[in-house]
Amino acid sequence: MGKQVIPGVSSGRGVLGKVVGAAVMLALLGLIVKSPTDAAALVKGLLDWFMAAVDGLSTFFRGLL
């Protein structure tokens, strides 16, 4: 029988990558639990930054045409 793959779980990373990923996830969970307002502000800021970057790229490419 073939190897089963669990969606969202990458088996190609090393131990260090998995430890770092787990640490980041725990830190984010801790931020959300301890300070949900600050976590929401952080997510909103990241989304605003991302949307500004997309807008800037689209303006650039429209300028090329």
pLDDT digits (tens, 9 = 90+) for 22-43: 999 999 899 999 999 999 999 9
- Enumerate the domain spans of the chain: 36-65
Cα–Cα distance measured from residue 2 to residue 56, given in angstroms and rounded to the nearest whole number: 46
Q: How many CB atoms neighbour CB 28 within 10 A? A: 13
Cα separation, 14 vs 55, in Å, equals 36
Indicate the residue type of 19. V
What pLDDT was estimated at residue 15?
Answer: 85
The pTM of this model reads 0.57
Neighbours of 36 (CB within 10 A): 10
Query: What's the pLDDT score for residue 10?
Result: 59
Token output for 45: 């800021």
Q: What is the pLDDT of residues 44-61, one digit of tens each?
A: 999 999 999 999 999 999
